[in-house]
Each structure stands twice: as structure tokens, then as C-alpha cells.
Structure 1
Amino acid sequence: MGTSRDLGISAAKLLGAVASTVLLEQAMVRLLEHSERLVMPAARRALLRHLTFNLSVPPPDPREASGNDELAVIVHGCAQNDETGEKTDSLTRAVLAVTGDREMVSQLRLLSDLNLAHARLPQQELSALHALLGDCALDVNDVARSALAPFPPRIPDHCTNAWSVTLHLMRRNTRPDGLPPFLAFLEHAAVSLTDPAARQQLQQWNLAYAQARGLEEPLKACRSSAGPAPRHTRSAPEHRIMVVLLPDGLDEDYCTLRVWHQHDEMFKDDDVLVRQSDLQRVVRQRLAHWTAQKTPRQILVEFWLGLSLINLPVMHWCVPEDLHDGQTRLRVVVRSMGLRPDNSHDGWRAHWSGLIGQEPTARRALCPAGKSAGRPSRHPLILAESPASEAGRAQLLEALHQGVAAVMWDRSNTDVQQFRTYAEMLFDEEPLAELPMRLSQVQSARDGSPQAEALHDAVLIWDDPDRDLPEPSPLRSPDEVSAR
């Protein structure tokens, strides 16, 4: 089946579509032409049946046409005069039902949003807005959460930048104050820009739009309350693999391995019972399977561990040379299983947001040997000992219960002073949001440098409060877990 990786739709074609509905339809047709499934007449007939069933006014019957002309007739019938987006939305759903090609449908949804924007905005305004948003470097999910609180929408996976999010939000109903949600998003996007000239130009576009439609007052209210979006560590969509290790309860030599995989959708592997001595081999096999798929180049691998397993050498199970694709960039972190702060979840999140938003100065905290952790405000923690020891376990437990969301220690305790020196350097030289990736790079380098040697056995707990495990099925019979 053809995918959007093979579609070759050029940026120039999509940019041209901004200024021309004709080019927009051509881009849709070209997208569908690259589907091996839609080459077949039976598939095109199935596509038309879906549309006829779902649309009150179906597109013209293209049976007199053939091949690509048939697709052009279908697209034209859906795209023309589609002021509500109903027809092009039905087209994307029908294409997904017939082809199953989610990557192609993701691009088709973007074109569908653009088609609706043509019906909502004059062509000149739309082209000017596209020019302003073309180079905006923003975490669009953070901006959307800030702009549309307290009911922020889920941003679809095809919305990856300010332009695509703006097009999508044009579909949403106006707020009670009359301001369109996309305009609120643009206001918050503007104040999040670091370039003063770019910020001013976007605000000028917003004001001109509001003045032409009698929306100056709600725009002014939005502008006065808008501030830079709080910084988070994530930007959707992210490829994420969650490896959960559960002690067997009957035999301490065994664990239940549960693996969740998240990208466009959530998948779960079958649970298996694994001897602890075989965990490294089995986990590497699972990671090799998923990284062999057509995935993004950066993957977050989370190991969810209980206290009894927290000191396992999981970082070493993910070195790139041992995976199917040695070029895939893995960001490996440890999450604490069932250990949550004693304070409120909101307090934990506020602490986490403050931690990530810090400048890289004076932000680490050392845990003195033999003393409790004691969370300094908005500081990560470097443990004096690994949790394999009683003192290290007590330090870690107190840190987690107090909501310290980033904790590092040395598994082997071979040279405590050298580890602390290089751990402090790592905390100081990198933005904290990049710490998991940077630590993974250091540990996989194997270049014999003092830093690589000192941090070889470093473990990083990265307990992001906005990331949770999916809910498993409530009941599982014993025969659902197969021995391995």
C-alpha cells in the first residue's frame, strides 16, 4: 500500500494551494493518485459508495470518466462550495475506510482544513497569514492549551505547526465573547514569539481581522491577558514506548513484561512472564521490532519500574548498536511505578513546569549521604547513593513522595565524587528539557571519555505528571500471561 512517504507532494504545490482553490484540488487529486489501493476501479467505486451514503448531496457520479479523471471528479464534487467542511471531511473518512492509509489521510485532512479556510477568509488575508506563520517556531500544543483554557481542544496529529493548527481551529465555534478560537490562538502565539518584528506583524494581522468584523473589544481583552505559553517537555505527536515491569509476586526471579506503543494510535503487546536474567534480551527484541517500523527518528522509551526493580540497568538495554536501526535516536527515562507525591497533583505539575522552565544555573540539588532528600524548590536531585542501599532507597522514596520530578543516581557507586562532578556538569550545560536525550547520547557514545565513563551507570527518573500509562483491561486471567 502506498504511503505519504512516497507521495512527493512538494512544498511549492501546497504553498500554491494557499492562493488557488484550483491548485488545492489538484493537490488532493495528486495525493489520491499515489495510493496503490485507489488505482483499482473497485476501490474507487467503494469510495463513491461511502460518499453517497454519508453525504446529503453526494458528488457527481464519475462512471463516465476513467482513472485519475474519476478521482478528479470526486475531489471536485467534494471541494467545491464546501462552506461547512462536511464534504471534504467525508472524503477523508471515506479514503481512510477504503485504503487504511493513515499517513495519506493525515495530509488529506490538512488540505481539507485549507479548503474550509478558503471558504471562511478572503484569499488575500489567508495568503498573508500563511506568510506570517511560515517560520514560527512554537510548541503549538502549549500555545493552544494556554489560548483556549479552560477547555483546550485535542490537537489532531496532522496539526504539527502554527499554520496547520490555525487552519484546524477555524472549524471551531466562536467563544462566548465572540472571538474565534483561531484568533485567540494567534494572539497567544504572537506573544510567544521571540522576534519582536514577527510578533508585531502577527498582532497587526489579528487587529486588522478583528476591526473588519467588529471584534476589537474581545481581541483587546484577549491580548491583555495573553502571555507566553508555559514550557512543557512534550510536543505531540511523539513516538513513545512504555515498558512496564511488574514483579511476579510468587517468584522473585520472574517479572511480567508489559509494553505499550504510542504514535498515531495506542498499541499493546501481549504480556509475557520473563526471567529477570532474560529481561535485557527480551526488551531489546521488543524495541527492535518497534524501531524497525516506519517511525520518527526520535523515540521516547519509558521504563516504568517499582522500587524493587528501580536499579535495573535499563539504560544499557537501549544502546543504539543493539537495535534494528542504529540511527534511531532514543530518549530513555525511568518512571516510578505507584510512587506519587504526597502533595496535590496540581502542585506536582506546577513544580514540574517550574523545573523545566528554568535557566541552566543553580538548579541541581545534592542529597547529602545519610540524610533525607528534602525537595529544594524547583530543583532536580542527585542522590548520594543508589537505591540498592537502604540509605539511597530512603532518599529516593522521600524525593518521589515530595514530588521531585527529576532524580539521578549512579547504579554502581564506583566513584561517587567523579559521578557527582560530571552529573553536575551535565545539569549545568544542557537545558533541562534536553537532559534525557543528552544522557542517552553520552551513555551510547562509548568513546572512552571521562564523562562517558563517569555516567556509564547513571539512572535518570523523569516523572512527568502529564504522562500516564494507558488503563489496562480490568480483568486478566492467569492464562493470558504466557511464560517465556
Structure 2
Amino acid sequence: MTGGLLYDEGHGAHASDLTRELVDQLGAVPGLETTEGRGLLIDTLADRLPAAADIPRHNRPRSGILEIVRYCRREPGGLHELAAALALYDPGSSPALRVRELIAATPTAAVLPALPDAEALAVTGLLARVRHLDAHGLLYAAADGLPLPGRPVTTLAEAFDYLSRANTRPDGLLPTMVLVEHVAAGLDDGGPADARTAAGLREWNDIQAKRLERRAALVAVRAGLAEQRSAQPAPACVVVQLCRSAMDPDRYLLSHWRQMRPGPWRPERGEDRLVSLDEVPAAVERLLQRAEHDWARQPGRPVLEFVLPVELLNEPLEWTQVAFRPHASTALCLTYPVVLRSLERMRAKEFHRRWHNRWQRALDSPDTACHWDTVGDRDHDRERWNSKLTAEERYVSVVLSAPPLPTERDRDGSHASLVEALYAGVPMAVWDRRPAAPADFRKRAKRLLRGKAIELPQRVHQLRKDAATAAAGRRDVHVGRHLAVLFDDPNRLVDWSGSPGADLDGVRGGHHEEGET
């Protein structure tokens, strides 16, 4: 028989209220406002619950405390272990006593209905046929916030076994059922054998949903996965966003998000800070060092993305030198595929529909249809160029004739061309950062855009590596040394927050944050 209490959050209407009150009271416990204090509490918890050592450790106090509470609410006996750890950490303060009172008054969650052995064997037999899908990525997608095992799983049977120890979700489904649904969806594009396995998995899920009287919840999960099929899995990545400070025009608010695993887009927001442009390299280096520490357990090819206002898009941030060890700096673009994204468009939701439309066209087409900038041509007609770009949705990229310099220095008009492309929904743009592009740039750009759009960052990554490893005489003139590439997926939005002290009316805050800076 299978069963457990790994997941108990969300049962009953009081669940979110209890979480909020626990977070509020823990936030008032002396010492937990510091990273070191929260780390000590986590380490004390881990003495009894070893998996607690993997609780994410945020710099922001409330975020860090929320992670602790959510983990303990999901873990069997986790809240009571939290009370015991807190008694050691702070035996006498009023907030600590209040936390222990709240936990003592919390009813134990219902144990999940046991899954009969015969049914467990039936579904694991079907899963054993599937060896070509990413088991750990599917576990990550199905867990949806549950703590994950310390080591990546390698088979779907391992993923199923891990989730079989979890309690029912708030919608009443077993997490194993959600995993099965994800596997079935992953088989939909395969051959006849995959189709038969997917049908068997869905039939098994239908039987469990009937037994648990959760047919509507299963239908909702199935429909949600059908909608997501058009979205490509997000890569592991770090997203760095710069926004000019309202308080100091010479400084920028640097925000960042981390997508720790390939799969559904669930970025974790980090702490914001104010920086000058000169301070950006050191800040990015620290962010990547922390991310690499968390990525150390598994292989992968993470991506680095810069979400920038238009005035910064011509900055060659991909060639920023970073040192992961003393006296050994290398350019960012040699370690990571680096692409640019538009801050203004991300915030302008009235243009997102057409952005989604063109992105879908890009994914569905074998080649990347391009609208070539005509700025500088004898017969350049800006109105005609803009009209054609707007009217013909097949264009999913533009190649600029000159770099899009800030408006006051934009003699060629390429800044205006880029802005028009962004608001027409064009997800990709390419240009040479030099004042005058070489004669063969158009030919090089055509070659770069040939092939599947989704593979553009990897092609650019290779071109930049070619530039860095070219012979000394060609290194600085190689097109890869001067290439700027905007690659902007509308399915992977991050939230925007203004600089401290700015007017934030009508602007969304950060990912699961409550106004902290």
C-alpha cells in the first residue's frame, strides 16, 4: 500500500490564514530577521528532518520564513518539528510561544487514501515502457511546489515512488495522478506505441478520479496541460532586469529571477538592489556564482537573459568579464547563451496578444521569416516599412541596418525601427553593434536566422565562441564579437517592480513578495 503526509497544505479554508499568521509571528522572533538566524533554524530542523536542509534560503526575511513554513506544512509532522526546533532556538519570546500555540491547535491533516497494490503495479508497468522522457523534469512539473528529492530521479518509477508518499493536493488529486497526466501529455507527439501507452495512462487516471470522486479536478489538469503544449519548456536560466531608478537617473534597479530546472516556467525572484552601470558586472557575477552553486547537483546548459529598457539594448553585456575563480575571468557569452529581452514590451500588456501570435508562428515555422530594415537605403519609406511589418504577421524577426542608439543619437532611425518591431509583436531582432556594419553582415544574418527559431540562442552562442577563439587578427572584427540578439518569449514573463521610493501605483510587485525591498 502507498500513502503518506508529504503534502498537507491547503486542506480547509483556514490554510492560508494559518500560513500567514505563522509567517507573521516567526517574523517577530528575535534573530529570524537575519539570514544567519533563519539558517540556524533550518539547520536545527534538519537534525530531525534531513530534507529540510534543502529549504531555499532567501535574503529577504519574509520570503525565507515563508519557505520554512510551507516546507513544514507539507512534511509529515513538519509543523511539530518546527515547534520543537523553535523551542531550542528561542524558548521564551512571545512570538515563539505564539507559534507553538498555533501549531499545537492545528488539526492533523487527513491521510491520503491508500492506493491498492494492484493499481500501483498496473501504472508503474505502463510507466516502465517510457524511457525517452525527462523523468526529473516531469517530477518537477508534477510536484508543483512540493519539496523535491535531494538527487535527481532517473526513471519515472522513481518519480512515481517519491510522489506516492505525498498526500492529496488541495484539489483532491493524488500527486501521482498529476505525474501520470504529465507523462501522457509528453507522449502525445510520439508514434503508435506511445499513443497506446498514453491512452492506458489516461484510462488509469480516469479510474482513480472516479474512485476519489475527483473527475472535475482531473479534467482541469488535463485541459491545462493541453493549453501548455504550445509553450516550449523553459530552460534553466538566470534573468537579470535593469530599470532606471526614479530617484537617481544615474542608477538602475537590478532585479533577478532564477529558473532552477528546465520545465514549466516557475522563476524564483531574488533580492533587488540599486546599481550603477559600472556595478552591473560584479552584481551579475555574484548572482551567477550563487546559481551555479544550486545547479551543481545536475548537468545542464542554463541561459542568461537581460531584460532591458530600449536605451540599454545596445550595451554589449554578453561580453562582460566574470571570474568564477581568482585571476581567471572570461566573457559571459562563452559560458552561457546570452540574449536580450524588452522591458517596455513586457510591461505593455496591450501588445501581448500580437506578441503571442508571432511567437507561435515562429515555433510552427521551419525557418525564421525576417523583415529587413531599410533605413539607409535610397528608397527607404518608413511608413511603408512599418505598415508591412504590422500587416504581415509571418514576420517573426527583424534585422536592423544600424544599432538602435538612444533617440538623441539615433541618426539612422534604427531605434524607431526596433520600437516599431517590439510593439508589432516581433519576438526576435538582430543587429551589428558597430556604427557601420560590414558588407557581409546581411549574408551572415541570413545564415544565423536559417533554421528553427527556438534554436537561435544556441546558434548565437556558437557564433560568439567562434569569435572568441578566432585568430588574433580576426578576433575583434568577427561578426560574433559585435552581434546583438533579442530573443523574447512571451510565455516567460517576469514581474516588474519600481525602484525604492518610486510611485508604484498600478505596477505589479515581484514574484510572491509583499512590498519588501
Match for residue 421 of structure 1 among 421, 430, 443: 443
What is the rounded CA distance, in whole Å, between the counterparts of 1:43 and 1:157 in structure 2? 15
2: distance between equivalents of 1:424 and 1:336? Answer: 23
- 1:442 equivalent to 2:463? Answer yes
- Write the letter of the residue equivalent to 1:123: A
Match of 2:258 among 257, 262, 265: 262
Aligned equivalents of 1:247 and 1:223: distance in 2?
Answer: 43
Residue 464 (structure 1) aligned to one of 489, 498, 503: 489
Matched, 1:399 2:421: yes
Measure, in 2, the Cα distance between the counterparts of 1:313 and 1:326.
10
1:131 aligned residue: 128
Alignment of 1:35-50 (within 5 A): none
Distance 1:338 1:360 in 2: 29
- Alignment of 1:368 with 2:374, yes or no, is yes
Higher mean alpha-carbon deviation, 416-425 vs 203-212, is at 203-212
Q: Structure 1 residue 290: deviation in Å? A: 2.4
Whether contact under 8 Å (2:241, 2:254) holds in the other structure is yes
Conserved? CA contact 1:245–1:256, under 8 Å: yes
Distance change in 2, residues 1:350/1:190 (3 Å): same
Deviations 1:177-198 (A, max 9, x none): xxx656654543331x424312
Shift of residue 222 of structure 1?
10
Q: CA deviation at 1:208?
A: 5.3
One-letter amino acid of the counterpart of residue 320, structure 2? W
SS at match of 2:454: helix
Aligned to 2:171: 173
Question: SS where residue 415 of structure 1 aligns?
Answer: coil
Q: Kindly provide the amino acid, as one letter, of the partner of residue 409 in structure 1.
A: W
Three-state SS of the structure 2 residue aligned to 1:271 is strand
Superposition deviation, residue 135 in structure 1: 3.0
Distance 1:199 1:118, change over 3 A: farther
Partner of 1:354: 361
**Structure 1 counterpart of 2:398, which letter?**
L
Deviation at 1:244, TM superposition (A): 0.7
Distance across 1 between alignment mates of 2:501 and 2:129:
53
Cα deviations across residues 329-383 of structure 1 (Å, max 9, x unaligned)?
423121222246685423322322332x234325233222344351442421112
Q: Which residue of 1 aligns with 2:22?
A: none
Amino acid aligned to 2:453: L
Q: Residues 430 and 486 of structure 2 are in contact (CA less than 8 Å); yes or no, is this contact kept in structure 1?
A: yes
Counterpart position of 1:335: 341
Q: Secondary structure at the match of 2:129?
A: helix
Equivalent position to 2:313, from 310, 315, 320: 310
Tell me, yes or no, if the aligned pair for 2:334 and 2:461 is still in contact at 8 Å: no
* Partners of 2:368 and 2:272 in 1: CA distance: 42
- State the distance in 1 between where 2:322 and 2:121 align: 51
Contact 2:333 2:465 in 1 (8 A): no
The CA deviation at 1:419 is 1.8
1:311: how far off?
1.4
Counterpart-to-counterpart distance in 1, 2:317 and 2:335: 16
1:454 aligns with 2:479: yes
2:432–2:482 Cα contact (<8 Å) kept = yes
**TM-score for both structures, normalised by structure 1:** 0.59
| Alignment deviations for residues 88-147 of structure 1 (CA, whole Å, 9 cap, x no partner) | 733566778969xxxxxxxxxxxxxxx969646633124214313443259978x979xx
1:392–1:466 distance in 2 versus 1, CA, 3 Å? same
Greater shift in the superposed pair: 90-99 or 291-300: 90-99
The aligned residue for residue 17 of structure 2 is none
TM-score between the two structures when normalised by the length of structure 2: 0.56
The question of whether the paired residues in 2 share the 8 Å contact of 1:407 and 1:460 is answered with yes
Secondary structure in 2 matching 1:420: helix
Distance 1:401 1:156, change over 3 A: farther
The aligned amino acid for 2:317 is V
Higher relative contact order (CA 8 A, sep 6+): 2
- The question of whether the paired residues in 1 share the 8 Å contact of 2:310 and 2:342 is answered with yes
Distance 1:301 1:181, change over 3 A: closer
Q: Kindly tell me: are residues 89 and 223 of structure 1, through their superposed partners in 2, closer, same or farther at Cα, counting changes over 3 Å?
A: closer
Aligned pair partner of 1:246 in 230, 241, 244: 244
Partner of 1:377 in structure 2? 393
* CA root-mean-square deviation: 5.2
> Would the aligned equivalents of 1:342 and 1:403 in 2 still touch at CA under 8 Å?
no
CA contact (8 A) 2:401 2:431 kept: yes
Matches within 5 A, 1:10-89: 89=75
Report the counterpart of residue 29 of structure 2 in structure 1.
none
CA distance in 2, matches of 1:120, 1:436: 47
Contact 1:365 1:381 in 2 (8 A): yes
CA distance in 2 between partners of 1:222 and 1:45 (Å) = 37
Query: 1:286-311: per-residue Cα shift (whole Å, max 9, x none)?
Result: 22222223033544323232232221
One-letter amino acid matched to 2:393: S
Distance 1:346 1:317, change over 3 A: same
CA contact (8 A) 2:320 2:331 kept: no
SS at match of 1:135: coil
What is the match of residue 27 of structure 2? none
CA–CA separation in structure 2 for the residues paired with 1:463 and 1:432: 11
Shift of 1:174: 5.9
User: Secondary structure at 1:395's aligned position in 2?
Assistant: helix
In structure 2, relative to structure 1, the CA distance for the partners of 1:202 and 1:172 (3 Å cut) is farther
Say whether residues 1:283 and 2:308 are aligned partners.
Answer: no
Instruction: In structure 1, list runs of 5 or more residues that go unmatched.
Output: 1-18, 25-36, 51-85, 100-114, 146-152, 479-484
SS of the residue aligned with 2:340?
strand
2:434–2:482 contact (8 Å) kept in structure 1? yes
- Contact 2:302–2:336 (8 Å) recurs in 1: yes
Is the partner of 1:291 in helix, strand or coil? helix
User: For residues 188 and 126 of structure 1, do their structure 2 counterparts lie closer, same or farther at Cα, with a shift above 3 Å needed?
Assistant: closer
